[in-house]
Amino acid sequence: MPEILAADLLDPKNDYVFFRVFSEEPALLVDLINVVRRDEPAIVEVSLLNPRLTPERLSGKSLVLDLRAVDERGQRYAIEMQVRRFTHWSGCGLLYLARLLSEQLDAGTAYRRLKPVIGIHLLDFTLFEAPEQAKQALWCFEMRDRARPEVRLGRELQLNIIELRKADRLGQLPARLSAWIADFAHWQEESTMSTHPYPPVQWAIEKLRELSADEEARYWAESRAKALSDEASLLAEAREEGREEGEQIGLQKGREDTARNLIALGVLTVGQIAQATGLSLAQ
């Protein structure tokens, strides 16, 4: 394998790279799940539910490469790296988890056989921006009562969110989780990562070197990054066009309101307004 400099390593937050690393090394996925859900009993093994990458899947318009797994207790997991924030992101994430829950029900299946569905979403952006939320980067959402949050309505749905940038900035996290945060935030810093003491992260870095030296892997990683960039650019352009159109509509309405006020005050007539501005106003 050719020597790969740290500066040439693929981004582990690229969803294609993320999928390859954790689908091809399930033990790393087990460790990541355990460090995120550190207050729960540790799992020892997962089985991937969608391990194959097809050309159709890679070029799909949805641009989502998620990892789906089931542990030895039957609990379902959806692990996703998300680098782009979009409107109604939370609704999309919850709908996907609900689908994983409903997929377990075949005709005649008892509800008691439903296994919990657990989402783990790693975000390369800040989702919660209010001042009172600035000191928290790890979130765990469940079905709980508003007045008595200690009362939980079952264990069927759970969504864990890690705001990676905020988590890296805040620090003061459990050592194993901090190690994974460092992997996603500082993968190109040779001095930091080459001496990292946590074995799973060292393993992940070696896997990243392997993928970075593979021409086909680099092609797909760069294609995915370009697709996300193009999509973001198109959305930005659409928003800008919509804003400009809205400003023009607002300006036109303002001119019409001003003209009507001048007419009502007897300052100008409808004809004078039309001659001066081209506005056609009904009396």
Asked whether residue 119 is domain-assigned, the answer is yes
- Average pLDDT, stretch 129-156? 94
- Average pLDDT, stretch 177-190? 92
Between these two residues, 195 and 126, which has the higher pLDDT value? 126
Checking if the pLDDT of 250 tops 80, the result is no
Q: For residue 32, what pLDDT is reported?
A: 96
Asked whether residue 246 is domain-assigned, the answer is no
Confidence of residue 255 (pLDDT cuts 50, 70, 90): low
User: Using one digit for the tens of pLDDT, what is the confidence trace for 31-76?
Assistant: 999 999 998 989 999 998 877 776 666 655 554 567 899 999 999 9
Asked whether residue 252 is domain-assigned, the answer is no
Q: How far is residue 230's CA from residue 178's CA, in Å, rounded to a whole number?
A: 32
Asked whether residue 120 is domain-assigned, the answer is yes
Confidence of residue 282 (pLDDT cuts 50, 70, 90): low
Task: Indicate the number of domains in the chain.
Answer: 1
Asked whether residue 247 is domain-assigned, the answer is no
Checking if the pLDDT of 206 tops 90, the result is yes
Asked whether residue 180 is domain-assigned, the answer is yes
Asked whether residue 89 is domain-assigned, the answer is yes
Confidence of residue 263 (pLDDT cuts 50, 70, 90): low
Range(s) of the domain holding residue 199: 15-213
Confidence of residue 105 (pLDDT cuts 50, 70, 90): confident
Asked whether residue 116 is domain-assigned, the answer is yes
Q: For residue 243, what pLDDT is reported?
A: 61
Q: Which of 109-118, 201-210, 223-232 has the highest mean pLDDT?
A: 201-210
